[in-house]
A and B are shown apart, each in its own frame.
Chain A
């Protein structure tokens, strides 16, 4: 890794970061992607289900296949990817401090930075929540789909968003059992089609229920479930015990926005999208000049929209560097926005679109062209 001739540093080699890198490299920018993990792709390679949307959004293609083609695209276009590289600081002059896989410390000096750091899963507090076997649903999904390891014979899933529903199905595909899926809210959070798939397999979906506590000495051995009333209070006498060896927690994600905070850019708070988020304009540029964001860092959605946001940031950063004429960039960006808006429709999508529009409304106008 050298610091000469890098136009754009992308931090995070997940769907958003790879898409940003591909787009910027296509337009002739010298792009370096840094990722702390020892493999690229972010969470795409554990997504063994087919994606939704239209043909434009690679619908019907499984997540890992999308990951493969993104990696091939990035490589073909000449964006470099440095793995095992931890970015631990971004300074006010936009220098990027990195520790490489071989423990070297570097200060890089890119012209533009695209933050595509993703999100991490939320924890849930209850007695026993620290016992070995209580894992984030994403961790279970990684173990099952990527490493082919089933943590336990029987799992309790907590949370009925798409993550909870999909991972429940994938535990079943892998030969495991899902004793129950509990959801504190009175209705299922995710898509009906995912819920129907696990219902057909006989997984009980208990809305208005939560996990009261988890038992075990050195590992999860069982859990007590409890019904909740309309004010989310436990209903006395409704407890029931189940035997399980794993509890998967699927109660939302929080954007990994530490680096954006370091850049001093403006944030907003939108619980629906994961909490505190860096705002950005229609180019995905934050209020800190030359710092762009894409994907879950600026609102937790799905890989499909993360990829489109990445493409947008990549085009905009290349345009800001003069690699593409504004008129041509406008056409390219408009096409991405059309695809993004198409993803943000329907019962769930419209709410995300409204929330995302609050972000751009707050982020616009920071940079007078």
Chain B
């Protein structure tokens, strides 16, 4: 087992070393990346599956010459749960990326692939690290390699800006994590995670401090609202296979960190759970509301990631809340729903980013207003996108439905079974989650309807055509995974048993009862038959009365063209004028019509992230202004700098005398 795990870690590293000298050969290096990730995935998936099926955890220790460092590897069921998406997504993204970057000229693609492989390896290491230093090194490696992947198109000013935002955000996160780990390791007296058991005895207010540090530090990586600001910047800027890997896998690692923290700290009080759920639902509402007004298709998907992460946190928060209140059945449902939603999100968000990447690849634009009419030109991609959208909006028979169903069940059970005041927040969450669901449908109807259906709105969209099979197979495999989980959720729920037991910490309730609770598996085949029947009926109808092809009524314009059709801005007009609060609304620039006769009027809409632009930017500008005063120290004259060194030396001498007490 341990050897297999090691193989899955070392193969990507080996691939990265192999790719670097060959970085001039684009196809070869992409091939190496694909082959090594596939080869690493085979033992990796095997190890993860066997751990999830109840094998004992892997523990390996190697010596490391770094002071305080040790190569302590601990892989348990929770790690395995998060490792599985890494090993499934990374080969698919590598295969896809090879074809996606095929047209790129004048870049050393080998370097890109080396970073990609190192990112995969570092994610595996983050999930397996059993020691503070090792964890932080791997975490930092992950942030840096993904920074370079985001900055792929670094000549582009926006991309550069986005990459900087990402780098700054992740380093702020690491700073918080450093504080968290230093404090915890000092308290427990050891740098090994296995000794963090001692933290269970930590006083409550210190535990709360540590928890908040961890939520902020890991929350930045997870895209938890309000720490999500890098996400909508970095995802559109990165190449699509990188966005898919980051959004579907890397974001999970932040959630992993928070879960690990919860298992280390003493029994969480109920309000921690409510806090997480509160952040979660706020993020879900915020993310989906902003997704509804984006014109950039990948930015829209990035906001949808914020939404889904929010939903996952609602599940986790409710789980913690229920454990604290002693309702393990509710906790079981909520945790299972959250974890399953995490897997599901990996599948469909990876799929959607790859599908959107196909549109970008074919039309060279991410602006939905420039797309349209791609159903006829890119039929396979369009069908994939429609499938992914159905999955992400939690409609049966896809997987999103199952996980959200579990979360809803948890909320409803909790709301009804708990004493009144305690159940109230859960019932409130039900209605808010339903609002999120409705908004999600709006967003994805808009995404599919504007970018895929209708007639092309630009020359690029009109002349688009489908790419190679390598661009279609990876998203298709992911979509197949979505359908599989949607139709046959019971075996998947069985896999969740081990991680959920670790989270609930009590085995009062055998996981088997989960299936009894949910009623899953009974109605699915009936549902499937119903859908098949409806489809059949639809095709029969179509066949009997074929659709009449005629021009759309052009509202009285003499020569209507495709640019006059509904676009993304128009579609979301209702949402942003009547649904969204004023702070979230996009900026609309237009001039009122003043005369009776027609004249040229322009309207443009620009959406910016309110948290980033109104809060954080203001905050950091203020800090920068304060720091301006420190510029006084930078005199630019060598003697002054030497004086600083001199004074430091003298200070250290005096200090050493004080400390060592003199001879």
Do A and B belong to a common assembly?
Answer: no
